[in-house]
Structure formats: C-alpha cells, structure tokens
Amino acid sequence: MLAEDNALLRAGVAELLRREQVQVVGEAADATTLLDLVRATKPDAVVVDVRMPPSHTTEGLQAAHAIRAEHGQNVGILVLSHHVEARYALELLADGARGVGYLLKDRVLGPAELVDALKRVAAGGSAIDPLVIEHLLKRRRDDSRLAALSPREREVLALLAEGRSNKAVAATLFVTEKTVEAATGRIFNKLGLVDTPDDHRRVQAVITWLRSSSSTEG
Amino acid sequence: MTAGSTARLRRGTGPLLLAGGGVAFGLLAQALAQPQSGRPDSWTLPDLAAGWSFLLAGLLVRRLRPGNRCWLLLMAVGVTWFFGTFAAAAGQNASLAGFALAGASNVVLAWLLLAYPTGRLATGRERALLGAIALLYAVRVAARLFLYVPPDGTGCGCAPNRFLPITDSRWYDAVNAAYPWAFTAGFGLALAAAVARWRRSSRPGRRMLIPVVATGAVVAVELAYSYVVRVQSGLAVPTANDLFFLVAGVRALAAGAFVIGLRRLRSSRSAVVDLVGGLPEHGAAPDRLTAALRRALGDPSLELAAWSPEESAYVRADGRHLQPGVGPLGRATTVITGDDRPIAALIHDEALLEDPGLVSAIVAAVRLTADNERLRDELEHQLAEVAASRARIVASGDAERRRIERDLHDGAQQRLVTIALALRLTEARMSGGADPATRQALSQAVKDLGEAVDELRDLARGIHPAVLSESGLAVALESLADRSTLPVHLSVRPFREPSVAVATAAYYVVAECLTNVVKHARATSATVNVTEADHGLMVEVMDDGAGGAAPAPRSGLTGLVDRVTAVGGTLSLDSETGRGTHIRVWLPCA
C-alpha cells in the first residue's frame, strides 16, 4: 500500500517496489483514501508520506496513528518524510509500538534500503532513518557513557537503533554475528541497559535511552 | 521704532501724563488757595496727600492690572479732589468754580464703589443709582452757581452770585440742607450694592471686596459726620483742622484699599499659575482637574462639565447634561473651546467673571490640560499603530518565508526526487542491455540529485523551519539543539503554545543566539532555557564563551531586538568580557 500525493512520485515508487518483488496492492493520494484502502485490502505494510493534503503538514503521521489504532500491529507503517527531526520518528515508536519505520524521502532513490525497511516493518520490526539516529547520537555526544564506547561500538549502536538485527548489523559491518553479539553486550553494559534478544525491544531501549537525553519536560 | 513698541510707549505714558497733570493741578490749587479765605496753610500737605494718593493708586492699579478700568476712576477721584481747594482761591471765577464743583470726587468715589472691581457698571440698577447721584450733584452745582447768596462775613470768601441776581436764599438753603443727606443716602446705596456683591461672592470675590467695602463704610460714616458738623456750623466746607485731617486721611485710606483689593485679585491669578504648574501629570481625570481648579480659585462649589462628542453635550460629574443658560443665581458658566471644538464648561461663582484675566487664565489652563491629553492620546494611538504595523510587517515576512519553504518543498524538492526516481527506474529497466558507462552516468546523476535534494532541504529549513508550524516551538527548539555543532543543553518547561508570531520570534532568538555562540563566543557548550513567565515566554540562551557581545547596526543581535520588540517583547543582554554571554528574552503571550 502506498500513499503519496505526488502522482509521478507515487507511480515511480510503486514501480520501484514492484521491481523489487513487492506487491503494491493500492495507491492513495490522501489520508482518507488511504484509510479506506487499508480497510479494503488489509496490506502487510503501508508507505505513507508525512505531508499530504489538505494542509500539507503532518496528515501522514495522523493517518499512521489512525491505522495503528484501527488495525493494531497487523499493518506495518513506514513513514516517508523530508524532515530529519527525531521527534516524528520517536512519536511513532511511542507506547511500545511495533512495525513502524521512519525514513527520509530521498531513500526511495536507493530501492534496496527502502525495501529492506519495508520488510522489517511488515515483519513487526522497526526502521529508523540513519540520519535521524545520527542526530540523536550527536545530541548525546557530551555524555560520558557514550564517550566510553569505541568507534566500532558506536557504529553498532547506530545500526541497532535503526532497527537492524544482529545478523543485519554483522552483514553491514562485515563481521560475524558473534562479534556483534559481544559488542552489543558491551554497549548495553556501558549504557546501563538490560540486553534482550528481542530485536524490537532492544531498539526501544536504545531509542528511549537516546531520547532521554532530551531534557524536554513535556 | 516699530508700531508695537510705539503702542507700548503710548500705553505706558498716557497714565503718567494724566497723573502728572493731576499733580500739577493739585499744586496749582494749593498755590491759589488763600489762608484768609478760611483755608490755613497747615491744610496744604493733607490736601495734597489725599488727592495724590488716588493718582498714585491709579498708576499702581494700571500697572498691576492693565486690563482693569478702575485706574481711570481712581485718577478721576484724585483730580476732582482738588476742585474743593479752588473754593479758597483768590480769583473770583476760580473760587466760584471750586465752590460749585466741590464734592465731585465723592460722586466719582461712589461710581468707583459701584463699578469695583471691574471698573464697569454691570447692571441697570447700578447705572440708575449712579445717574441719580450724578443728578443730585448736578442740582447742587446749579444751586451753587445760580441760587447762592453769600452771607456777609461768613463762609468762604466766595464771589457773589454773578449769574442771577437772586436775593432770596431760601432755595439755596433748601438744596444745601437736603443735599448732604441725599448724597449720603446715595453713597450708602452704592455701598449696599458692594456689600450685596460681597455676600453673593465666594472666597475669591470676597477677598477682593473686603478692603473696599470696609473703607467704603468708613467713607460713608465720614461723609455723614462731616456733613452733620458742617450743617451745624452752617458752612460749605469744613473749617476745623481735625475734621479736615480726618476727611483727607479717610480718602487716602480709601485709595489704598482699592489698590490692596485689586492686588488680592492678582494673588488669585498667581494661584492659577500654581494650578498650571500643578496640573495632574498623566491621565488627568476630570475630578482631579476639578479639585485643582477648586483649590486654586478658592471656590469649593466649582464644577467641570466635560464635553462628550457622543452625547453632544457638556456632561457634569453626576452624569447630567449641562443646560445652557440655566443656573442658580450667583453661578456663572464659562465655556472652554479649543480649535473650534468644545472641550468643557466651568460652572463657578460669578464673582470670577469680574476678572476676565483670571477667567481666561483658567480657560487656558483647562485647554492646556485637554490639549495635553488629546496629544498624548493621539501619540499613544500612533505608537500603537506603528507597533501594529511593525508586527504586521514581521508577520507578513514570516508568512512569505513559510510560503517559499513550502514551494521549495512541494515543488522543487519533490520534482528532483521524482526525476531521480525516474532515472533510477530507467537504470533498472535497462539493466543488462545497456553499456556500463551509461549506467555509471545514470547512477551518478541519481547520486547528484540526492545531494541536491539534501541541499535544498537545508536551504528550505534556513528559510523557514517547517517543524515550527507543524509541531510547535518545543520540537522546533529540539531540532535546533540537535543540529547545532556545539553541545546544547535544552531545558523547556511546559508552556502553552504561543501565537505563530511569538513562536517564530522565540525560534529565531534561539537560532540566532546559537549561531552567534558557534561563530564568535569560542564556547564549549550552550544552555537554552524556556519557561513560562509573567503572561509570556522567557527564553534564555547562555554560553561559557568569551562574552563581550554587543548589538551593532545590521548585526544579527540588532535584528533580534527588532524581531522581539515587533511582538511587544523585551531583550536584555549580559555579556561581560570573559564571563560568557547571557541573553534573556521575554515575549508576551496574550
């Protein structure tokens, strides 16, 4: 399922996804059509643009919340946005939500990345844009616990935060899964977090930790 | 010499010439007077003193109160006083004239008493009374000229009646016996009119009238007494030294009383000067102005009715409309206008009208206050308009930036992504068949387009932070802190989302300050605090850098001050060299 108000872009993304063996069961140009189509076709996942008519602000996010409320975790949601603001991604992850992702819009240009995120979301995992994670990490750069991590450990942390499994991290960094597991253990230790084999809960823990850096009270 | 100064010279010299003439006239009278005509030399000085004291009083009043006509009457009293002296002159003609005209100064004195303090006869009754007194006097003058038969060896050494050879003195005797009483009665009526005026008056009027009424009473008694003595002795003019000295002394006293009375009037004018100095400084409520006027004029019953353009009427303190021309006896209404539009009406003691100068001073004071208020109102109105228009300019600038950002986002950015996508698809479709160089070029084009999109995203954010209008100030500030190259401690206490204008101002304050910290401060970290404070938002940005920041023209800091004041906020800067910079901005939230 694909929701994007720009018809050309929507068609392009749809074709890209089909080429990557993803079945596109519906295309919507606005939030209302999207909700109707989701009800009718029950897709595995939805790709939705944040900005859609009528006000072109955060209709996509609201639609995502509506889908979540209506269909629970049966429908994975991948939000596309032009904004790197971490707040949007964190909002999606709130309340222990599974099967959500937040990618910058230009990721559609690298179809592999888009499809990978979509698959993770459809399977109930998470996918957070690397640039968003980069910002979150930057915010905590003066944190002594983060400073205690080695560069490799920080790389692992970033990939974990994006929602990748140990296996995927290992593949990305060209190391064995065991190495990643060991690094994960050390990272969690240093950050004072409890390690868990559940990928999703692990992402939550890491994101929550990163998010706690923001002293925004409210 | 200009026309103006010529006029001033004339105004100044006229009374002096008149007084000089009076002095000379007095001296002439003394020179002609003969001791053998029943006029001892010891009378010369008291006689001159009595006459000249009125001349001096006239000059003084002329100086003190240039607009008042009393001075002329005072001088007339002084000059006519010497008529009686000529009765003792050696020459027959002069002697007869003096004899006939003696007592003229009493008539003028009665006139003065009636006309005081303005110098004008206000009512028909006063004019009638003065006419009656003048008629009495004229009858006596005629009687002395035509009916008098000088008895031998008595009285003055007057010439015999030269106009009519009348030998029967009964006519003259009748007039001569009746005149003193009739005149004393007339003078008494003039005094009664002054007393009535005194009773009607409030404090300012009474202060002026008291000395004159008091000496008027003394003069009346003196007139009656001297007539009694003279009638008893059968003489036309007093012969006893003591009596003459008494008469002369009383006249000199009366002259002084008029000066003192009119001087007191002046002191109430200086009270108006005090009033102008002590006018309420701001937002002069009518009741405060009324209190000030009452104090200055000593009239506790004074009322101020302000003009209400809505009701087209003068509205009194109790809300009633002022009925023009209707008022209790003794009350007068003075209307105050400025630039041909009504300002207010004063309801006051009519005694105040006896001094037009005083009234015009009050009117000027009230008009000044009203003009002040009006100008202040206009100024405040204009300032509010300027502030509003400045806020509108900033707001429209912000709206324009928002529009450009949206256009970039929905237009160019989307288009670039779409093109890149099309290229990517083309690349995918030709996979296998195409030559590697073409695919390489396509791939590079997609990559370049991706970078262009990134750059465009940053550009759009610089023009307007979309996150601000989409998710509010707190999120936008978080995003700012995230993107800063310095560590930023952000502390945002919960606040009600402010208006777009205030939120935008707060955002740019933090953005500009953080940019400055990175550029100039050589700081290791910055702290941003946002709290709700005093019906507004308090935004503080602190750093641990070099300090010494100061707003310069065209600098970012000056731009911030403009932006903050445009929404009615305040900015304070504390940037001591070596102690970091602390910027505190308060923005109002309606």
Q: What ipTM does this complex have?
A: 0.73
CB contact under 8 Å between A58 and B470, yes or no, is yes
The answer on B482 and B350 residing in a single domain is no
Residues of A in contact with B490 (CB under 8 A): 214-216
**Shortest CB distance from B490 goes to which of A16, A19, A215?**
A215
Q: Indicate whether B70 and B96 sit together in one domain.
A: yes
Helix (H, G, I), strand (E, B) or coil at B587: strand
Q: How far apart are CA B499 and CA B394, in angstroms?
A: 13
Q: Are residues B343 and B492 in the same domain?
A: no
B402, B417, B537: best mutation site toward chain A, by most A Cβ within 10 Å?
B417
Residue B38 resides in a domain:
yes
**Contact assignment for B490 to A214 by CB distance below 8 Å:** yes
Query: Out of A6, A56, A86, whose CB is closest to B418?
Result: A6
Q: Do B471 and A58 touch (CB under 8 A)?
A: yes
Report how many domains make up chain B: 3
Chain A residue with minimal CA distance to B471?
A58
Asked if residue B221 is part of any domain, the answer here is yes
For residue B173, count CB atoms less than 10 angstroms from its CB and return exposed for 0-12, middle for 13-18, buried for 19 or more.
middle
In a domain, B71, yes or no: yes
In a domain, B118, yes or no: yes
pLDDT tens, position by position, B38-76: 677 788 888 899 999 999 999 998 887 776 788 899 999
Please judge whether A12 and B421 are an interchain contact, meaning their C-beta atoms are less than 8 angstroms apart: yes
| CB-closest option in B425, B454, B489 to A215 | B489
CB contact under 8 A, A218 and B474: yes
Q: Judge whether A16 and A112 are in contact, CB under 8 Å.
A: no
**Residues in chain B closer than 8 A to A85 (CB atoms):** 467, 471, 475, 478-479, 482
Q: Which residues of B253-291 are buried (b: 16+ CB within 10 A; e: fewer)?
A: bbbbbbbbbbebbeebbebbeebbeebeeeebebeebbe
Which of B 475-514 lie inside 8 A of A, CB atoms? 475, 478-479, 481-483, 487, 489-494
- Per-run averaged pLDDT (10 residues), chain B, 590 residues: 45 82 90 75 87 92 80 91 83 79 89 85 87 92 79 50 66 82 91 87 77 90 82 62 83 89 69 64 64 74 81 80 68 79 80 70 80 85 89 88 84 84 82 78 86 84 81 84 82 83 90 87 87 88 82 75 88 85 88
The answer to whether position B12 is within a domain reads yes
Task: Indicate if B138 and B190 belong to the same structural domain.
Answer: yes
Q: Where are the beta strands (DSSP E) in A52-165?
A: 76-81, 100-104, 126-128
Order the strands of the B341-349 sheet from edge to edge.
Answer: B313-315, B303-308, B341-349, B331-338
Structural domain contains residue B33: yes
Q: Which of B417, B487, B493 sits opposite A9 (nearest CB)?
A: B417
| DSSP states of B254-287 | HHHHHHHHHHHHHHHHHHHHHHHHTS-SSS--HH
Half-sphere exposure for B198 (CA within 13 Å, toward CB) = 19
Q: Is residue B423 part of a domain?
A: no
> Would you give the end-to-end CA distance of chain B in angstroms?
67
Do both B73 and B144 map to the same domain? yes
Query: What pLDDT shows up at residue A213?
Result: 47
**Angle of helix B104-115 versus helix B241-277 axis, rounded to 10:** 20
Calculate the alpha carbon distances from A11 to A18, A26, A39, B344, B422 in Å.
10, 11, 22, 79, 10
Of B267, B291, B326, the last residue of a domain is: B267
Q: What pLDDT was estimated at residue A97?
A: 62
Would you call B406 and A56 a contact, using CB atoms and an 8 Å cutoff?
Answer: yes
**Residues A12, B483: C-beta atoms closer than 8 Å:** no
Q: What CATH number does the domain containing B540 carry?
A: 3.30.565.10
Q: How many angstroms separate the CA of residue B394 from the nearest CA in chain A?
A: 22
B414 vs A contacts (CB less than 8 Å): 6, 9
Q: Do A139 and B481 touch (CB under 8 A)?
A: yes
Per-residue tokens: A117: 């995120």
Range of the domain at B279: 268-388
Tell which residue, B222, B413, B25, has the closest CA to residue A104: B413
R_g over Cα of chain A: 17
Do the Cβ atoms of A106 and B494 come within 8 Å? no
Question: How many Å apart are CA B324 and CA A18, to the nearest integer?
Answer: 95
Q: Which of B213, B245, B267 is a domain's end point?
A: B267
| Residue B402 is assigned to a structural domain of this protein | no
Residues of A in contact with B475 (CB under 8 A): 85, 87
Nearest to A142 among B469, B483, B487 (CB): B487
Residuewise pLDDT in 10s, chain A (218 residues): 777 777 778 888 888 888 888 888 888 888 888 888 888 888 888 888 887 777 777 788 888 888 888 887 788 888 888 777 666 777 777 655 678 888 887 777 777 888 888 888 888 888 888 888 877 777 666 666 777 788 888 888 888 888 888 888 888 888 888 888 888 888 888 877 776 666 666 776 777 667 654 433 33
Question: CA-based Rg of chain B, rounded to a whole angstrom?
Answer: 47
